[in-house]
Structure 1
């Protein structure tokens, strides 16, 4: 089990580059999450696990005020180069409470492809509910459990920590497998109300960039994404 969720050093640099153009990040998860966010003009949004600042950039362009947190100094350096002084960024391990953030201080929270890296998810989700104003929204995406089942095998209901090789096996990311029941159950147990559930497909522009990836990702699920609201 990890003691930190951070992608540091070479892994952080690889992820920052990869997220720019990866079919999975740039053409599947990011468009789906931004569509779920909808109109964010004038809203204060917390980007949890902000990485290299790709989502924050899009949210800022839509008129949001963005605060980003990440445990990785490497990724935050990329985010600062990308964002300049347009967003407030903090280095923080999300396994620890968000005790530097006031109650009910955000209109929205985005957790893009990061909850499966967190061991103490129930604590984190409780903290995210705390910092949301009543009526505020939370977006979360994670790896599709069917994709993990196809890749790692074994039982669909497995909840083990696994390592997914990257860059031809030179690096890997460490995360916990979750069923849909676990993913949604933990969010609902945190006192959030489900509004939308999607299994994102690639946007049409991927076809012009990588037709093979476009067709593959229309046939095999990669992620799930949800929008929830604090009552």
Structure 2
């Protein structure tokens, strides 16, 4: 069984980070991230949102209470199954797919979220394709893209994988493929359980 499928038995963010943080710590980070999203993207009413790497649906479910339509994407079959149950009855769908090849139309969404997602795409070509796909599906003018990944102050990508989780953190320049679609309008440093992360907000032209 895939490592992400095994972790799908756990709730919320703990499904992703059960080998790193406690369930209580994950709950605290979850609250902090939702507050950050509300501050950086304050109006979700009626908007069409994609949640990349949706896991068991923690943000997909939360966003779906506010947005017009929410689409969760995850490559783990078990995560997708759990997320579908979480969002049942809401204006949301969950699809099993790679972030590098989204089964979604171009320019059809107002907001794309990638929270703790792209840092786990360790293959560089797949990562760059995933970044381009984010821009493609949100290419309508004024669309927004919010990325939260590990903070990397060096000019080169760093592989910080653990025994259980593959992770690569990249410098801000590493997300440069988005510049064909959007401008970076905000960068904020976040600290979760003593670890540093960067939140990047992009807006399409």
Global fold match (TM > 0.5): yes
Q: 1:101 to 1:31 in 2, by over 3 A?
A: same
With 11-20 and 137-146 compared, the bigger mean Cα shift is at: 11-20
Match of 1:164 in 2: 162
* Structure 2 partner of 1:128: 134
CA offsets per residue over residues 75-111 of structure 1, 9 Å max, x none? Answer: 112212211142111100223x22x311211111111
Native 8 Å contact 1:111 1:140 kept in 2: yes
What SS does structure 2 have at the residue aligned with 1:129? helix
**Residue equivalent to 1:173:** 165
State whether residues 199 and 221 of structure 1, in contact with CA within 8 Å, keep that contact through their aligned partners in structure 2: no
Q: Which has the higher contact order (CA 8 A, sep 6+)?
A: 1
TM-score by length of 2: 0.80
Contact 1:7/1:75, CA 8 A, preserved across alignment: no
Do residues 109 (structure 1) and 101 (structure 2) align? Answer: no
Alignment CA distance shift 1:229-1:76 (3 Å): same
Partner of 2:93: 88
SS of 1:125's partner is helix
Q: Look up the match of 1:18.
A: 14
The total of aligned residue pairs comes to: 191
Can you give the 5+ residue segments of structure 2 that lack an aligned partner in the other structure? 16-22
Cα distance between partner residues in 2 of 1:222 and 1:134: 31
Query: What SS does the aligned partner of 2:201 have?
Result: strand
Pair 1:66 & 2:62 matched: no
Structure 1 residues 7 and 187: CA distance shift in structure 2, 3 A:
farther
1:7-51 CA deviation, whole Å, 9 max, x = no partner? 533233247461674156313333323422210100111111111
**TM-score of the superposition, structure 1-length normalised?**
0.72
- Tell me what 1:168 maps to: none
Separation in structure 1 between the aligned mates of residue 112 and residue 10 of structure 2, nearest angstrom: 25
Unaligned 5+ segments in structure 1 are 1-5, 147-155, 166-171, 203-216
Query: For residues 147-158 of structure 1, what are the structure 2 equivalents within 5 Å?
Result: 156-157=154-155
- Deviations 1:117-160 (CA, angstroms, capped at 9, x unpaired): 122222122222121122211111001226xxxxxxxxx45534
Higher helix proportion: 1
| Residue of structure 2 in register with 1:212 after alignment | none
Shift of the 34–182 alpha-carbon distance from structure 1 to 2, 3 Å rule, reads same
- 3-state SS of paired residue (1:173): coil
Distance 1:93 1:27 in 2: 27
Please give the root-mean-square deviation of Cα atoms over the aligned residues, in Å: 2.5
Q: Distance in 1 between matches of 2:10 and 2:156?
A: 28
Equivalent residue number for residue 202 of structure 2: 228
